[in-house]
Amino acid sequence: MRDDDDDRLDLSALAPSSAAYERLVQRTLHRARATPPPMVRWSTRLLAASVLVMLVAGVLAWLPHREGDGDREGLTTDTLSQWALSGQVPQNVDLGSFGVAP
């Protein structure tokens, strides 16, 4: 293998000068720091809203629930399930208040 300087290619014209490269990097950084893209702005707002909804749902889950209100007093899902399985509903119960068509 010969070591001739004539065989080497000069690629320095293809490489940007260090000053030009530094300007390119600084412009890119300036644009990146100037304003976040719309997707980032909306995603942070949506994340904050979803956290708020989750916190409200969590607090509501820990609050005590009312057992009944008037006509539904004492009716539980177990009772309704037993009525549905047996096919027998007491005469004094109005299923229309539960959203069931007569």
On average, the pLDDT of the chain sits at 77
Query: What pTM value is reported for the model?
Result: 0.34
Domain segments of the chain as ranges: 16-59
CA dist., res. 22 & res. 16, Å (int): 9
CA dist., res. 95 & res. 86, Å (int): 15
CA dist., res. 93 & res. 80, Å (int): 11
- Average pLDDT of 36-60? 88
In which band, very low, low, confident or very high, does the pLDDT at 3 lie, cut at 50, 70 and 90? Answer: low
Question: Could you read off the pLDDT of 80-96 as tens digits, one per residue?
Answer: 788 788 888 777 777 66
Higher pLDDT, 47 or 10: 47
In which band, very low, low, confident or very high, does the pLDDT at 101 lie, cut at 50, 70 and 90? Answer: low
For residue 25, the SS3 value is: helix
Q: Which residue has the tokens 């300036």?
A: 30
CA–CA distance from 4 to each of 12, 60, 101 (Å)? 18, 82, 97
Output the pLDDT for position 27. Answer: 92
Output the pLDDT for position 50. Answer: 96
Q: Give me Rg for the CA atoms of the chain.
A: 36
- Average pLDDT of 58-76? 68
CA dist., res. 62 & res. 50, Å (int): 19
Output the pLDDT for position 92. Answer: 74
Amino acid, res. 70:
G
